Amino acid sequence: MLLTGAEILVKSLIDEGVETLFGYPGGAVLNIYDSLYMYKDKINHILTCHEQNAAHAADGYSRATGKVGVCLATSGPGATNLVTGIATAYMDSIPIVAITGNVPKNLLGKDSFQEVDIQGITMPITKHNYIVKDVNELQKTVKEAFHIAISGRPGPVLIDIPKDITSAKAEYKNMDDIEISNKEFRVEYEKIKEVAEMINKCKKPLIYAGGGIISANARNELKNLVEKINSPICTSLMGKNSIESYHPLNIGMIGMHGTKASNLSATKSDLIIALGARFSDRVITDQENIKDAKIIHIDIDGAEINKNIKSDASIIGDLKEVLEKIIPLVNEAKHEKWNLEVNSFKNLEEKEVVDGLTPEFFFKILNKKNKDNLIITTEVGQHQMWAAQYFNFKNDRTFISSGGLGTMGYGLGAAIGAQIARPDMKVINIAGDGSFAINCNEFATAVSNNLPIITVVMNNNVLGMVRQWQNLFYDRRYSQTTLNRKTDIVKLAEAFGGIGFRVVDRDQLEDVLDKALNSKKPVIIDYVIDCDKKVLPMVAPGAPINQIISE
């Protein structure tokens, strides 16, 4: 059957199970959009206000489901507007396929109108990328792109398609007739046995879980290991959903804004078991900090092994499969003395004593309202850390945040993707007033698509995290971090067609949350807090993780 390249692309997406596409049209992708019109009963296209948010929405869709998210943009500025979203997905190992149009082949390299080398631009921030110069290769390219995005360590893949390829015709094949290479991981039994023996010999284990647990769907296996060896577990920001927040062995997030229990336990442990996590600069910056611990590192990506912290034993492979093989070989253990020591670290955590509106109070009330039907997305900054510190997560894929790249403006686009992916859940985007201003126009997309997203703006009138660093490390020289904006966030919500609330007193919050949670329309809550409220505890950049700033 002869089809145009645009038809081949759309039918290939349908064959890959794509039901939703986030994008923004333009001249170079008009043929694709014409085909999308013809197949609108098969693929739901969400028109965003900005291409960056199409990428963020595809990312949020993927994080909420585990499927490949898809976004589409035109050539030139449309393509470059995707770059931040692609880099965000790349840093957090999120599988998305980004499709861009380009000028016709005969105009490539001639500085044509709206031409950029998007393949070259995105090379460092994609697992793989393509420019399709033969319509006969398009169908196979799409299949390969989806396979690469989701296999091994997940990540973004870009397909750039010149406009004349979308109008050229080729034979459409049965997808089963298209073969692609498949890399298999074979884990050596001797390595499994070595790791199990190290776990059996240790006296003070600490499990450090990252986002790889979520990607590998290895949450049950992780919990089985934690409970079998009765080990305390800490998580990275990306690993927040790897185990329930309130599990008795969960001692919280580790690192710069981690709990005292996690940070101190790492310095006292004799064996750290890192699972699907990289030792980033926000976790541990110097191996001297954990010199008494042997390190087991298990990850799908061999490039992460020994990159930042040297391991004593390592396994490269799928976490679910590896843990399934390790667990039968480890002995049940109690580690009672060690857990008593860890619990003594827990008792060092400060309790909230401040009156007035605080992040702690907000999440205390939200936790009370939570019926395990909430997905939390965040922008980036203090509010992001408060959400990670104070919200009680039960289920996986319910915390969606930009970890590695730290992209301000990420949360609302991601919330749109997550809400479309999971209409059975209520999505709440936690924002700061600085991050909110970057992409608040995407609230129009939520309104246009009747998405009952709640955006909570922790409004302190400053760029809070940067101000916090200026306070602690720059002798309170608050250069360009006081916003002094006159924007009325409640009126802004109403102008977009949504609902706005302002909370300035504790007595208001519960009623406002009830109304927001029961609303069928998008809501923005302007939650006014003090500009000097800090994210604590904190470890200064480059400092040992047991040197903790508490006040």
Active site residue 114: yes
3-state SS, one letter per residue, for 203-225 = CCEEEEECCHHHHCCCHHHHHHH
Catalytic residue among 19, 105, 114, 140: 114
CA atoms within 13 A on the CB side of 183: 14
Residues 6+ apart with CB under 8 A from 381: 408, 432, 434, 435, 463, 464, 465
- What residues have CB less than 8 Å from 113, skipping those under 6 apart? 76, 103
Q: What is the CB neighbour count within 10 angstroms for residue 183? A: 7
Tokens of 384: 């992001």
**Catalytic residue (one of 51, 115, 144, 379):** 51
Residues contacting 174, CB < 8 A, separation 6+:
none
| CA dihedral of 250, 255, 256, 260, whole degrees rounded to 10 | 50
Catalytic residue among 67, 143, 163, 204: 163
In the residue annotation, 538 being an active-site residue is answered as: no
Q: Are 46 and 21 in contact (CB under 8 A)?
A: yes
- Quick check: 73 and 24 in contact, CB under 8 A? yes
What residue has token string 């098969």?
Answer: 42
Rounded to whole angstroms, how far apart are CA atoms 375 and 127? 27
Nearest to 312 by CA among 363, 375, 270: 270
Q: Computed from CA positions of residues 460, 391, 404, 439, in that sequence, does the dihedral angle turn out positive or negative? A: negative
Q: Measuring CA to CA, which residue among 417, 432, 444 is closest to residue 498?
A: 444
107-146 residues labelled b (16+ CB within 10 A) or e (exposed): eeeeeeebbbebbebbeebbbebbbbeebeebbbbbbbbb
Catalytic residue among 38, 40, 113, 203: 113
Annotated catalytic residue 163: yes
> Of these residues, 465, 468, 470, 533, which one is catalytic?
465
Instruction: Provide the strand spans (E) within 466-550.
Output: 499-503, 523-528, 538-539, 548-549
The residues, any chain, with a CB within 8 Å of residue 210's CB and separated by 6 or more, are 235, 236, 238, 239, 242, 274, 275, 276, 277, 278
Distances (CA, A) of 37 to 30, 34, 40, 128: 10, 5, 5, 29
- In eight-state DSSP terms, residue 349 is S
Measured CA to CA, the distance from residue 147 to residue 141 in angstroms comes to 10
User: Which two structure tokens, joined as six digits, stand for 36?
Assistant: 């999308």
- Closest Cα to residue 403, out of 256, 230, 243? 256
Would you call 253 a catalytic residue per the annotation? no
Catalytic positions, written as ranges: 51, 113-114, 163, 465
